[in-house]
Structure 1
Amino acid sequence: MKLAVMMGTLCIATLAVVGCSSKTVAPDEYSGFLKDYSQLKEAKSPSGAEVMRWIDPKVDINAYTSVYIEPTQLYPKPQPTTKIPQQTLNGITGYYDQALKREIGKDLPLAAGPGPGVLVVRAAITAVSSKTEGLKPYEVIPIALVAAAVSTASGIRDQETTLATEAVFLDGANNKVLAQVVRKGTGKPLENDAQVLKADDVKSVIDGWASDLRQSYRTLKNK
Structure 2
Amino acid sequence: MGRHRSWAWLLVAGLSLPGCSSKQVSPQMYTGFLQDYSILTERKTPSGQTVLGWVSPGLKAGGYKQVYLEPSQVYPWPEPSERIPPSTLINMTGYYDAALRLELGKVVPLAAKPGPGTLVVRPAITRVATRTQGLRFYEWLPVTLVAAGVSTATGIRDQDSEIATEVSFEDGETGAVVAELVRMGTGVPLEDDKQVMTAYNVKAVLDGWAGDLRTAYMAYRR
- What band does the TM-score fall into relative to the shorter chain? 0.7 to 0.9
TM-score normalised by structure 2 residue count: 0.85
Match of 2:143 in 1: none
What secondary structure does 1:123 align onto? strand
Separation of aligned partners in 2, 1:92 and 1:81 = 15
Unpaired segments of 5 or more residues in structure 1?
127-141
Q: Does 1:6 align with 2:19?
A: no
User: 1:56 aligns to what?
Assistant: 56
Distance 1:213 1:40 in 2: 19
1:25 is aligned to 25
Using the alignment, how far apart are the partners of 1:149 and 1:59 within structure 2?
42
Q: Distance in 2 between matches of 1:38 and 1:45?
A: 20
Contact 2:61 2:221 in 1 (8 A): no
Mapped to 1, the partners of 2:9 and 2:18 lie a distance apart of 20
- Cα deviations by residue, 1:5-57 (Å, 9 ceiling, x for unpaired): 1111112x333x3xx3x232222221111121111111012332101110011
Tell me the residue number matched to 1:83: 83
Structure index of larger Rg: 2
Aligned residues: 202
Which residue of structure 1 lines up, in the alignment, with residue 45 of structure 2? Answer: 45
1:71 is matched with which residue?
Answer: 71
Measure, in 1, the Cα distance between the counterparts of 2:70 and 2:182.
17
Q: Percent identity?
A: 48
Equivalent residue letter for 1:34: L
Dislocated runs of 4+, deviation >6 Å: none
Structure 1 Cα separation of the partners of residues 18 and 32 of structure 2: 24
Secondary structure in 1 matching 2:23: coil
Native 8 Å contact 2:52 2:181 kept in 1: yes
Q: Which has the higher helix share?
A: 2
CA distance in 1, matches of 2:84, 2:197: 6
